[in-house]
Amino acid sequence: MQHLSGIVRARNALEKGDRFPVGALQPIVADSWQRCRDIDLDPRGTPRHSVVAFSDVKRRREANAAMRLLALAEMQLLHSQIAGSNFMIALGDAEGIVLDTISDQHFADSDAGRSIIPGSMWNESERGTNALGLAAMAGKPVAIYGREHYFACHGHLSCMAAPIFNSDGEVLGLLDASCAHEARQEHTHALVRMAAAQIENGLIYQDASKSFVFAFHPRVEYLDTLSAGLISVSLDGAVLSVNRPGKALLQGLPLVSGNHFDSLFEAGFGPAVDGLLKGGVVRIRDRAGSSVFMVCRQIGERRTVLPKRSSPSLPALVRKEDAPDFVSDDPAIKRSLNDLAEAAALCMPVHVTGETGTGKELMARHVHRLSGRKGEFVPVNCGAVPEELFIAEIFGHERGAFTNARAEGSPGLARAADRGTLFLDEVADIPLAAQTSLLRFLDSMEIRAIGGQKAQKVDVQIVSATNRDLEDMVAQRLFRADLYYRLNAFLIRLPPLRSRTDFASVVRHLMEKMAPGTPVTDAAISALAQRKWPGNIRELRTVLQRALARRRAEYIDEGCFDDDTPVVQLSSDCCDDCRSRPLSRAKCQEIRLLYHRTDENISRTARELGLSRTTVYKHVRDTS
């Protein structure tokens, strides 16, 4: 509370041009505000949105390739730890220029998210007081909460950044987590610092391809944590690099690159290595007389003892469970799923519609899982069963019941699905003659095999699916109306991928299944979101598979895609009226993009953006 009133007083002073009240701000913030004021930044104005050219971003990424590789993996992990809490994680280079972001889609789509993009400059003189810029300048972790940002328009954001150092103590880059809450986020800030430390350790392992890496700590149980010192030593004992905790532990000793191991530790390099190579923990004294436990983590390129990942041990850490099988963050799908469990419990027939590849079969399997039924999930592709055999395949037949019958007879698929689920895929293709039998079966849940005498009662959950317009087929008398209504007791419409609002979750989910732990940057997701996706999620999976095959690194960014998939061509990125009005441009682009992603659906675009249909129409009328 005290902090809040302090910040309110400080902001009043800032905006009136008065002196800042003593003690109302962290000194680092007060100093930053003063610098911003000295260069005449207007705290109530709009910060410059300076973005360097993409060629420059590429050059900077290449110059920082080793750090970027490790950082993207850490960002992915951080994202999975704090996903769903409206965060963006950004990697900046030493000058505070953003190289990559990974974020929750909601944040990426917000004004703040759109201003943190590859190439955007976050140094203090451009954006006022902010964590990324200050951490770069101060060379230490910084958190800036809400109204501590110099610009009032950043007052709803909190940003936490930590520098990433090389072993010479120079800042290589910055890791930042930003979220749209003013509240303090101590855990997240700790996670960001830990991720930065993890990257620094990763760099030591990477650099030490022809040397030993030893971990050491005065307490043996800390050897696998981020507090452990790491020291890389050449095969003849010259010290190459030491991580930050290692430097702190060996403070006062001659920690100069090239010095010999023996100048730091009493045991002597030869005997220490003999003990360490046996794979055990060795207790040795450093030259200041303190005793440390030491273990070998890496020998040359052969990782004989794998570096253990230090796991964060914060309380209440949000850990995501294994990725779910089914992504359904889109409100349209969520609404469909609302009462699905109840419908499945009541054994109501479920009908799933959607274009090819939208996940109809996956949804059918989900219904089966929800129903808790112990029997089998039995899929039937109605389009693939020859017309004359359809009834026999579904309801079974006795031995020799008809000319093409199997000699041993067949129990039929409906019976195989007893106490389980019968999935009638491509249900629009059921021959008209068979539709009557199916309807009878749905009414009675009784089956009588062809050539058989006795009817048998079964207990089957029916799920049907089609990508055709069944209502239209009913109107044309190609599909029985009564069967349609019977199948359609509970309807799920799966939206095409191009109009899904959870596109980013779908991409990350598919990637997690194909190559667990592979980071996908926001820029990669934006590039994919521009495409039309006629083959929907199935097509997306293929594109991602191809990107995995052709990628040159352990991550997927916007450079990993080929150009052979059609891109939604916006006739221009904003409408004629907005082109000359910089303030309306971003909103106009957002409207036009969503309009394309919703298949040019004005009502849906208006609903999702909370605008009137007229407003949407005004911005999109020249797009067709």
Where on the chain is the footprint of ligand ATP (CB under 6 A)?
326-327, 354, 356-362, 467, 506, 509-510, 537-538, 541
- What is the number of the residue whose Cβ is closest to ligand ATP? 359
Nearest approach, Cβ of residue 542 and ligand ATP (Å): 10
For ligand ATP, give the closer residue by CB, 481 or 514: 514
Distance in angstroms (rounded) separating the CA atoms of residues 22 and 34: 13
For ligand ATP, give the closer residue by CB, 368 or 509: 509
For ligand ATP, give the closer residue by CB, 93 or 502: 502
**Structural contact between residues 143 and 135, judged by C-beta atoms closer than 8 angstroms:** no
Instruction: Pick the closest to residue 587 from 178, 155, 114 (CA basis).
Output: 114
Nearest approach, Cβ of residue 72 and ligand ATP (Å): 22
For ligand ATP, give the closer residue by CB, 228 or 537: 537
Nearest approach, Cβ of residue 393 and ligand ATP (Å): 18
> Residues 379, 382, 385, CA angle at the centre, nearest 5°?
105
Nearest approach, Cβ of residue 483 and ligand ATP (Å): 20
Nearest approach, Cβ of residue 506 and ligand ATP (Å): 6
- Residue 218, classified by CB atoms within 10 Å of its CB into exposed (0-12), middle (13-18) or buried (19+), is middle
Distance in angstroms (rounded) separating the CA atoms of residues 167 and 516: 30
For ligand ATP, give the closer residue by CB, 71 or 333: 333
Report phi then psi at 93, rounded to 5.
Answer: -85, -175
Q: Computed over its alpha carbons, how large is the radius of gyration of the chain?
A: 31
Instruction: Pick the closest to residue 510 from 522, 520, 496, 523 (CA basis).
Output: 520
Q: For tokens 């957002």, what's the residue?
A: 590
Angle between helices 503-514 and 522-529 (to 10 degrees): 120
For ligand ATP, give the closer residue by CB, 297 or 360: 360
Report phi then psi at 136, rounded to 5.
Answer: -65, -40
**Structural contact between residues 461 and 421, judged by C-beta atoms closer than 8 angstroms:** yes
For ligand ATP, give the closer residue by CB, 541 or 592: 541
Nearest approach, Cβ of residue 363 and ligand ATP (Å): 7
For ligand ATP, give the closer residue by CB, 127 or 360: 360
Distance in angstroms (rounded) separating the CA atoms of residues 594 and 590: 6
The DSSP secondary-structure symbol of 556 reads: B
Nearest approach, Cβ of residue 429 and ligand ATP (Å): 12
Nearest approach, Cβ of residue 435 and ligand ATP (Å): 20
Distance in angstroms (rounded) separating the CA atoms of residues 424 and 439: 13
Checking DSSP bridges between strand 377-381 and strand 421-425, what pairing results, if any?
parallel
Nearest approach, Cβ of residue 495 and ligand ATP (Å): 10
Distance in angstroms (rounded) separating the CA atoms of residues 325 and 163: 36
At 276, list the tokens. 């360490």
For ligand ATP, give the closer residue by CB, 13 or 323: 323
